[in-house]
């Protein structure tokens, strides 16, 4: 008799524990999406990255994710409000079981800045969360929440780093096949840039960044800091800046620089 009662008590306790676990886990996706919203509002993009699912993190390095989010802030202004609405789940939280996917509608409002990239009052899209052990993480975010395509900027960044390191072979690799053909070879490109002088800095002007509506081309203004003889001047080496306009195109190999137009140099005082 006592053994039977003991078994019943243990069974009831086990059911209660399982039920409590299910109730506790049912709030985990909301806690995760709320933490993601808080990270976006605080511009804490390292924390936001940590909330991404492993598969999402595998698609973009932490440094690139942070850089992309900071670029969006430069275009549209920082996130000032973030609202969520539960749309549904693939399954239910029942005792030890849990859904494999939970979907939210996310609405982002940004402070907005005076530029050609002024964002709408609010951007809305879907965000998917998936379980990762006992926690939930962001596995996918709608493109509507991301705004302008930032992939070309990765090529621009690599090109600028290569120029300032005087690694013209690497910079040549960022050019489109037609532009490479125009230069003749990596050594030809190096010779042409070497004639200009040594590039000491390369600053992109994000406010000028534009992407075509078909997402096949993009343009951006740059300023190059150069040390060398002024074109048409004496052979004395001086420091000067040169404005540049860059056009990028989408190729089979990804985004590549298709044109680079240099402006008139300005000596630095």
Tell me the per-residue pLDDT of 93-126, one tens digit each, with 9 for 90 and over. Answer: 444 456 888 999 999 998 865 444 555 568 899 9
The span from the CA of 43 to the CA of 58, in Å, is 21
- DSSP label at 64? H
Output the pLDDT for position 94.
46
Q: Treating both helix axes as pointing N-terminal to C-terminal, what angle do 62-76 and 151-164 enclose, rounded to 10 degrees?
A: 110
Output the pLDDT for position 1.
55
Q: Domain 151-267 maps to which CATH number in 3.65.10.10, 2.30.29.30, 3.10.450.50, 3.40.50.2300? A: 3.10.450.50
Do the Cβ atoms of 131 and 98 come closer than 8 Å? yes
Q: How many CA atoms lie within 13 A of 143 on its CB side?
A: 5
Tell me the average pLDDT of the chain.
83
The residue behind tokens 């973030």 is 82
Question: Is 2-145's fold the same as 151-267's?
Answer: yes
Where are the domains positioned within the chain?
2-145, 151-267
Do the Cβ atoms of 64 and 52 come closer than 8 Å? no
CATH class, range 2-145: alpha beta
Tell me the per-residue pLDDT of 138-172, one tens digit each, with 9 for 90 and over. Answer: 999 998 898 888 889 999 999 999 999 999 999 99
Tell me the per-residue pLDDT of 223-267, one tens digit each, with 9 for 90 and over. Answer: 999 987 665 555 677 888 999 999 999 999 899 999 999 999 888
Per-residue pLDDT at 64 exceeds 80: yes
Output the pLDDT for position 17.
39
Do the Cβ atoms of 156 and 221 come closer than 8 Å? no
Higher-confidence residue: 148 or 52? 52
């Amino acid at each position: 008799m006592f053994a039977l009662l003991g078994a019943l008590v243990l069974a009831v306790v086990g059911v209660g524990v399982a039920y409590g676990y299910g109730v506790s886990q049912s709030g985990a996706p909301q806690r995760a999406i709320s933490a993601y919203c808080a990270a976006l509002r605080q511009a804490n993009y390292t924390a936001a990255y940590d909330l991404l699912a492993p598969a999402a993190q595998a698609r973009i390095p932490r440094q690139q994710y942070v850089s992309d989010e900071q670029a969006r802030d430069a275009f549209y202004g920082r996130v000032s409000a973030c609202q969520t609405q539960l749309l549904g789940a693939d399954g239910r939280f029942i005792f030890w079981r849990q859904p494999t996917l939970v979907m939210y509608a996310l609405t982002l409002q940004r402070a907005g800045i005076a530029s050609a990239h002024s964002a709408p009052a609010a951007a809305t899209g879907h965000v998917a969360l998936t379980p990762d052990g006992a926690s939930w993480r962001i596995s996918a975010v709608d493109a509507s929440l991301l705004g302008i395509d930032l992939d070309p900027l990765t090529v621009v960044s690599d090109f600028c780093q290569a120029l300032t390191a005087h690694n013209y072979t690497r910079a040549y690799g960022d050019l489109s096949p037609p532009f490479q053909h125009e230069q003749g070879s990596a050594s030809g490109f190096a010779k042409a840039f070497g004639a200009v002088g040594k590039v000491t800095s390369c600053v992109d002007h994000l406010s000028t960044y534009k992407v075509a509506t078909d997402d096949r081309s993009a343009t951006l203004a740059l300023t190059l800091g150069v040390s060398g003889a002024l074109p048409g001047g004496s052979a004395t080496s001086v420091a000067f800046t040169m404005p540049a306009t860059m056009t990028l195109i989408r190729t089979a190999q990804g985004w590549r620089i298709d044109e680079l137009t240099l402006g008139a140099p300005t000596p630095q005082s």
